[in-house]
Amino acid sequence: MKSINPANNQTIQEYREHTSGEVVEIINKSHHEWLAWKESPFSLRGERMMKAASLLRKRKDELAMLMTLEMGKIIRESEAEVEKCAWGCEYYAENAERFLQDEVIPSDASRSFVAFQPLGVVLAVMPWNFPLWQVFRFAAPTLMAGNGGLLKHASNVPGCALIIEEIFREAGFPADLFRTLMIPSGMVETVIDHPAIAAVTLTGSEYAGSQVAAAAGQRIKKTLLELGGSDPFIILEDCNLEMAVQHAVNSRMINQGQSCIAAKRFIVHELVLETFTNRIQQALTGLKAGDPLDPATDIGPLARPDLVDDIDRQVQESVQMGATLITGGARYDREGCYYQPTILTNVKAGMPAYSEETFGPLVAIIPVATDEEAVRVSNDSVFGLGGSVWTNDIERGEQIARRVESGAVFVNGMTKSDPRLPFGGIKQSGYGRELGINGIREFVNIKTIWIR
């Protein structure tokens, strides 16, 4: 298992994979630790989780550099990701007990209530694009709920996977309660098959999600899936265009466009189409590509060479089908996995830029004439993860937001994850919710207790 720097294609380090026997031993040890951990008081769990938050901040520079080296995220975004992980740990340390307290419900009993109790060891299959945040937003509520956790991280961020395990151990959690499995994707089904695995959560592609869901379904084990997205960014003619352009750039270019909730389809009212196109072109051409460790860099590399190939294919095929290339549309002439910020206009249904998830710096502009058409285009997708609406008429924005088919819609704000708010999708973007009170209740036994 190799860690390769996408900025220069140099190998950082090689790691030994766990054998089948070692995997079974790790699962058994995690289950054994869970048997005691599930009885622990919230005060103890919270103390340990707050310590994890403190360690994240203490080691922020080290963690940020590791993320940037392994998957190419620009350094200031890596630093912000570490801070967000610490926030997530603190949020659940402070709120888990309240979220999981018994819920009294009057019935024909003398007393009836719902108890929220831990399930067991939860397997997390996580992606590379937010190598710390994706894991901590699973791990913080899972451990605070009294469960154990096993991490199968993406194969290109093994260093991040191991250091997360190290942080939880250093924070005082039982040594084997949260472990990293250094295994290839082909071994995931074997792990799911182990009787000690109570449930599975996956963030990744639709294909990976379907495979994990099928394996877990055969064994009657609960799953949570957060999959791809093709988020609409709806720009109405009455919006604050300057603010909309600023957030359009941020939403599309964060993590070099490698985010499931990045804005992907820019659905623009025809009255402001030309102005928006000109302004976002000016903004994108002013961005600086370079070493992701340089704080002045705006554009780093994509995480792997195949991702560069894929975004280039989507651009070229869309142009061949009639889309207009405004800027970009090619690799940078430099070493590493770099791709130019690209704008396509006249994007229509059937083009890859319209119908597929584009995981890279591609702005696909789709003109519309009415609110009704904006909603129709937004919902003309197999995905339903996030989206945003930009307008100075708040009531109009809310009505459109209610009609967009997705797990979240932000009005005059960039779609983002927040520990306080539930996060997840519908359609082929998956099911279940992370974060907020909903997230911590995904992997507990919601038990009715009736007493006379």
Six-digit token string for 433: 């919710």
What is d(CA 53, CA 55) in angstroms, rounded to the nearest whole number? 5
Identify whether the C-beta of residue 436 lies closer than 8 Å to the C-beta of residue 419.
yes
* Rounded Cα distance, 311 and 369, in Å: 28
Residue 249: strand, helix, or coil: helix
CA-nearest of 435, 430, 446, 423 to 212 is 430
Catalytic residue among 85, 89, 239, 260: 260
Query: For residues 225 and 207, is the Cβ–Cβ distance under 8 A?
Result: no
List 90, 165, 226, 357, catalytic entry: 226
The candidate with the shortest Cα–Cα distance to 168, out of 93, 228, 272, is 93
User: Is 226 known to be catalytic?
Assistant: yes
- Give residue 379's identity as a one-letter amino acid code: N
Q: In what order do the strands lie in the sheet with 362-368?
A: 324-327, 342-345, 362-368, 263-269, 231-235, 388-390, 410-411
Please say whether the beta carbons of 138 and 166 come within 8 A: no
Contacts for 218 with CB less than 8 Å, ≥ 6 apart: none
Distance in angstroms (rounded) separating the CA atoms of residues 274 and 390: 16
Please list, in sequence order, all residues whose beta carbon lies within 8 angstroms of the beta carbon of residue 78, skipping any fewer than 6 positions away. Answer: 63, 64, 65, 67, 68
Residue written as token pair 């554009």: 299
Instruction: Give one DSSP letter per residue of 350-419, joined into a string.
Output: TSHHHHS---SSEEEEEEESSHHHHHHHHHSSSEES--EEE-S-HHHHHHHHHHS-SS--EESS-----T
Query: Could you identify the residue written with the tokens 């991280």?
Result: 153
Nearest to 337 by CA among 364, 304, 372, 376: 304
Axis crossing angle, helix 394-403 with helix 371-379, rounded to the nearest 10:
30
Of residues 368, 376, 321, 343, the one with CA closest to residue 264: 343
Q: How many helices (H) and strands (E) does the chain have?
A: 15, 20
Q: What are phi and psi of 349, to 5 degrees?
A: -55, 140
Residues labelled as active-site residues:
226, 260
